[in-house]
Structure 1
């Protein structure tokens, strides 16, 4: 506030002498005109008062101009109060003129007084920069004039009084507005001074800041007057920087293209301002990054003088952004491109193909690991992650200028091949399959895993999403066929995929519609061929598609969770049917899904099935896949042990196809090992399979477990297995899976002769 008052006083005291001299002059004229005996005393007193106030006021103005008052330490508030008091006294003194002289004066005297008062009122504007001073000065004269006019009682002078009122309003408004403008001017000046001070502090701080500095060049682009900070960040002496071409600091040291360098050259050449250009610079062999802002400098005549600007070291920020960009475009686990980046690459390839560029044809290969989930479920995610890393390294060996490899998610990978030749892509897929099939060594574990590949070849313009969809459709077809190889996309695969989606939807109500049945395949003793039991196999006869292979609908049922209801129905149906067999020594084997073990109370389910069917527990055999045993945790192990305590027998299905380990054979309650048909099909011709089957049979014998060979279809296989000593056999040689009526007939017939002879 004191700064505002100071500006008001300065302007008022600069113009106050004009007000004082006007008042003194008017007083002298009035004294001369009205000098008579009866007015002599008043005129002398009035003249002395005006002269005294004028002399005191002029002295104060002179002292203000010479800073004498400030030098003596008189505060602004005191000077302001003095000005207001002198203005009030001056206004009262001059207001006495109309009060004392107007009523008794003649027409000429009244005209003189009216003119004099009007001028005196106007002079109050000169000191109106201090509004209180202007108002008390002019206000006093206005009041005196108004009273003098009213005292005459004449209509004419009353009209003059009204005019005086209007004039008074104008004067008051003018003084207030002038004061307001002066106050605003002072406030703006204060802000400007504050900003100027702040700017000075900031500029001074640039020289001490850790990452910012000022730079300047002449018209030729040569550095001039380099600051100490500029020399510090370049690690050059100021003398070396002086006269050095500014652009030379940013000359690339390698072939890395930098777009901002070209933009900087153009801006300097065309004398255009630029902002935040990120430039690479070498400082004592270290690569740094600077952010530059600059603008051209011109003299008063518009002649270009050079550039001036600010620089900042943004190396850490640049590296951080580069790291974020890398993470945004790459898979952290395998260091391969991620799905987002791969889709961008495919889009670019598709753009080139659509533009008709030569050699723009390409192919996309989608890869999915077979049985990878078993690795995670069995050995934990740490082993699974390490397996993915090793697979990523093997896939990296196939990358090159014409190939980009990415990991989408989980065990899904993709490869873009800049070659649309079918043979080239088929050969590439075969080599990838062969490479990934080689064993992996992880934490003393030897793991084998296969990969399925879908290939889509882009020869005509389409969308990136469409080509990826086609490759995914081919991959799905390969997975449905068993995996471990590749498929090339053709339009019929879309129909198959749609059919699968339809089946998945219809699977949910198929059980209620009675579309599921159980078929029973005989199990015989190897030595005698005598019937020993049956395996219950689920079948789905779709009203439109006909029989749906179990390997299709079982996978769908596990995906949708329908397997829980199907499994319960199958268990109860098989137990009730087995309880009706005339030969109560025959057992029934029922397959149990891993989903049932994890997400149902299997012990309670089996107990209820046995109670409802009244089937002896010893005649029920539950076949559980090797994966379920491998993934066994404490809860699963407890479930299996409780089933064993019920008297139910447990069989390990598909032995040898998973990640076999001897430890769970010893630790878990297993009664039977079921040798997978893949080891039986080439008997007795494939000696390696003969050795494997012998080993498994001997292992079972040692651990006091029964072994059974499935998939026996020929006499040669039968003879080989009998020679090896496999106790139980199952396969089409002894009979295909049959309905309940045929099964009962086979049971009755087996009382008379061995099943092998019946089947033959």
Structure 2
């Protein structure tokens, strides 16, 4: 056998048979081959198939041939190996393709899933986790870098908003909302039997300081007072806050009434020392009120309210620090239940919307009115506003009253009869500092299908200056929504014209004390004329309230005043009566 080939030499004998003198086949295969006569192309032997090729030889005296035999399996074997090799190569290629595709998909899908998770975190307000894949140089990396920059920017903006919402920008102290939360948390942490106290103080003659020495000096004075109070508080377990304007508060936790009284006395003593600021010496004092928990109040809002009540009594009596006493609330027990009754008045429909017309002097037509509220008590009858509005402002319930007035006005403006009418609504300090005010008003507008341009929002100077930065931010939001903004009681506050010029106001409303004094006081007349000229030079309209007679009306007309309101035009009327008056 040579090169896997078998060889057989066949010679034909004289009798015609075939002999095989030479053979490399096995005996069995040779015997089978010999039995097969004639030409043979295949031979089955030993379970294998042999291919047979015959080569005729020239031989003397006889016939001879050589048979070459080769196994089919041997012939096919290289091709099968090649098939296996090709199959292996194909399988390897597919595997590599699958692995490569998987890696490629992972390179794309994993970062995209990471970006998706990041956007979901951002939507939940979680800006603390940096994005992955920002180090990549491809499009995915650029996208991740953009998202991360957005995350950082939003986080910074949110931090600024939170700081503005909870901290006083001028002094760096906690503001009213922050202080309230601190008191509430201190109450929750206090073990049974442990007390805490709140000391509230309001600087005397601060308005005079601003009027005489200017707003910038007043700011510096407030910062100096904040430093002085911090020094008095020292290492005591407590917190100092600026509640707004010239009002500060201290929380002592834990503290007995005696400890609170002693600290309040030290505060009063420290304020008796003259302050030297910018080459000016200022003598200060303050009304100081104290309220203790749980002895004087059951909850945080009542505690703060009663501390302020004690403070106002102390300012009025000029007796130094005073601790809250129930007699401070009012001369009768009626005031003690006033807040509860006021809440019931809203729920049970005891409040009434009144409107006072504002006449445009150019055409003598009433295009606007001021919204007011009256309380029709089932037992007390018609309660005068001065008996419940200041109390509502003091307790914070004024925000609910403002929303009630606004919604009733919106409900009226949604009627066909009120088409073209603009209604003014007054905002208090607490309204202006409420971060949700613009959102709540927008919801009421949407509910009744009324545009913001149908409203004028009136804000006093003092309300703005209690916290100028937050007030300015809220006024900008309200202006952007489309409300007309008016400065009410202009001339009685302590704001600077430079600051008012920055505000997005549309109107100045001259305080009635100047308008009513025009006939008899030359200074009042000068103030009214100057205010009208100033407003018009700034592109603002002017409203004069307190017009009591025709003579004042004509003088205002001559001075170019835009709108007037007062008893000479008409008194405040219930909304139905106003609409009937307007129709006639």
TM score, norm. by length of structure 2? 0.47
Q: Which has the higher contact order (CA 8 A, sep 6+)?
A: 2
The structure with more strand, counted as a fraction of residues? 2
TM score, norm. by length of structure 1? 0.37
Is the radius of gyration larger for structure 1 or structure 2? 1
